[in-house]
Amino acid sequence: MEFIYYFGDVFTPINFGLLLLGTIGGLILGATPGLSPTMAVALLIPFTFQLEAAQGLILLGAAYTSTVAGGAVSAILLKIPGAPANIATTLDGHEMALNGEGAKALQLSFLSSAVGGVFGVLLLIFLTPVLAQWALAFGPSHLFWLAILGVTVIGSLDSKSVVKGLLSGCIGLWLATIGFDDIMGAQRFIFHPSLGGGINIIAALIGLFAIPQVITMFAKGRKNDGTEAIKVQKHPIKGAISELFRYKRAMGIGTLTGSIIGLIPGVGGQIAGLVAYDQSKKFSSDRDKYGTGHPEGLIAAESANNAMVGPSLVPLLTLSIPGSPTAAVLLGGLLIHGIFPGTDLFDNHPDVAWTFINSMLIGQILMCIFGLYVAGMAARVAQVPQSMMAAIVLGLAVFGSYSVQSSMGDVYVMASLGVMMYFLERFGFSAAPLVLGLILGPIAESNFIQGSMIATATDGLAPYFFGGPLNLFLIAVVVLSVLYSAYMELRSRRYISKEDIVA
């Protein structure tokens, strides 16, 4: 309960001002395509040189939480996921915006972000010592099985056909091999110097999601102008809150999945949203509505990606090991003031630690209030004529992919992947499984190589990868997940008549 003593520190004029600044600035940075939470926090580091330790961390913490939520804005309105965390948000969120429910989608996304986020930070406050053990429990073999679990999701994610889902997942896995391999340093498929570092995930995201849509808009030409203008429905905030209570299950699944997966160093943040989306789909009675603008999918994805924020800081704050790139930047923010995370932080600088954590709690709520305030206005973006919209999205896509590491190479990668995806989409493939393959490929590969090196030096491959309760549990979940998908596929096939197949 120590954290309550330090609540007052959040509300001193300077601290609260910084909190507001970080939250609003974070929302704007997060809504800008290409500026991922990591980049946003890194951009703010120089400002913290001049501030006191606690103040600097308030600014960084607020920016972290609100950029994650802000990423939903471009994901919903423009179908550009700002970071891997927002991929699942585009699936139903953008469909909702196209149906004229943009305001509702944004409100729901900010509300569920806040609920997930507050839960995540509360976990961080109360369960840190327990969670730290949990984060350490995942060795190479467990991470490998976890990535395989992710792969089993690929087939069922946002695809009419399991086979096409798996095929696009394979394309993603292949794309992930491009570049110098991180462990051995071998060169793979580097046809051009800009591919040396591999496919940058942010540039790939922008290309795969935004470009096909831009091409479609251009292809329609001007003939539909005006007739297609979407009527943006107004949506009362009260309505959004009651809607949120209607979908308690999606909310709960999203929050729990996000918190648990967020904890695992190196993996969590990227796949929390996608896994939560898939899980809530499997448990939902409206399975078929997913992907057509169903609020449940949006709620699960957004509550998961904000629930991950709190737990993702556990390895950093307790063990001094940054579990994600953003946590690594926050570590810099602490070190610059001579504070070492770990026992030193909580024993000798409790004011810094708790003020930081408390400010993330208040930040979640502030973020929600501002988000709800701008949701109505932001949703009008959908009324912009398509021809203009295409140009704007294209401009943002180029800007976003260039700004990741100031490299034209990333822009070329973005453009070529985008054009490729346009044609793939016409044949019924979708981008989400492809991206999942791109994310999971390196995780599975490097952990398998590491695990096998450790295994050959110690007690052999089979005992290492199949031994221990956590390995067996993960394998069981993988098997269940595959069986479930196969069962659903068979069951739905039984109801499809011959005419359906011909059609």
Partner 1 sequence: MKKLLAGAAIALMGLTQTATADGHANYPERPIMMMVSYGAGGATDFQARIVTMTAGNEDALGMPVAILNKPGAGGRVGWNWLAGQAEADGYTLGAYNVPHFIAQSIKGGVEYSAASFEPIANWGADPAVLVVGKDSEFNTLQDVIDFTKANPGKLTTSGAGLFVGHHIAALQMEKAGDMKMAYIPTKGGGAAALKAVIAGDVMAGINNLSDAFRAAQAGNVKILAVADLERNEFLPDVPTMMESGLDVDNASVNFRGVMVPKGTPQGIIDKLAATVPTMFENGRVQGKMKAGGSPMHVMNREEVLAMWAAREVALKELLAGL
Query: Which residues of the chain form contacts with partner 1 (CB under 8 A)?
Result: 38-39, 42, 45-46, 49, 136-140, 179-180, 182-185, 187, 193, 196-198, 265-266, 315, 319-322, 325-332, 335-338, 340-344, 405-407, 442, 446, 450, 453-454, 456-458
CA angle in degrees (0–180, nearest 5) for 213-284-280: 65
CB of 184 to partner 1, least distance (A): 6
CB of 348 to partner 1, least distance (A): 11
CB of 80 to partner 1, least distance (A): 21
CB of 134 to partner 1, least distance (A): 11
Q: Distance (Å, rounded) from C-alpha 298 to C-alpha 96?
A: 9
CB of 406 to partner 1, least distance (A): 6
Q: Distance (Å, rounded) from C-alpha 117 to C-alpha 111?
A: 10
Name which of 145 and 277 has its Cβ closer to partner 1: 145
Pairing, β 187-188 against β 179-180: antiparallel
Q: What are phi and psi of 267, to 5 degrees?
A: -115, -45
Name which of 226 and 469 has its Cβ closer to partner 1: 469
Name which of 135 and 394 has its Cβ closer to partner 1: 135
Q: Which bin fits 146, alpha (ψ -120 to 50), beta or left (φ > 0)?
A: alpha
Q: Which two tokens stand for residue 413?
A: 């990668």
Are 6 and 351 in contact by the 8 Å Cβ rule? The answer is: yes
Name which of 25 and 116 has its Cβ closer to partner 1: 25
CB of 325 to partner 1, least distance (A): 6
CA 86 to chain CA mean position, Å: 4
CB of 256 to partner 1, least distance (A): 24
CB of 132 to partner 1, least distance (A): 10
Q: Distance (Å, rounded) from C-alpha 462 to C-alpha 464?
A: 5
Close Cβ partners of 89 (under 8 Å, ≥ 6 residues apart): 71, 72, 75, 76, 81, 109, 273, 298, 301, 302, 305
Q: Distance (Å, rounded) from C-alpha 126 to C-alpha 121?
A: 9
Name which of 437 and 441 has its Cβ closer to partner 1: 441
Name which of 187 and 416 has its Cβ closer to partner 1: 187
Close Cβ partners of 459 (under 8 Å, ≥ 6 residues apart): none
Name which of 342 and 385 has its Cβ closer to partner 1: 342
Q: Distance (Å, rounded) from C-alpha 117 to C-alpha 250?
A: 15
Name which of 165 and 315 has its Cβ closer to partner 1: 315
Name which of 7 and 399 has its Cβ closer to partner 1: 399
Q: Distance (Å, rounded) from C-alpha 69 to C-alpha 46?
A: 23
Is 229 strand, coil or helix?
A: coil
Q: Distance (Å, rounded) from C-alpha 397 to C-alpha 404?
A: 11
Name which of 193 and 226 has its Cβ closer to partner 1: 193
| Angstrom distances, CA of residue 450 to CA of 191, 228, 456, 461 | 27, 54, 10, 11
- Helices in 284-385 by DSSP H: which ranges? 295-307, 309-312, 314-319, 325-335, 343-348, 350-378
CB of 266 to partner 1, least distance (A): 6
CB of 69 to partner 1, least distance (A): 21
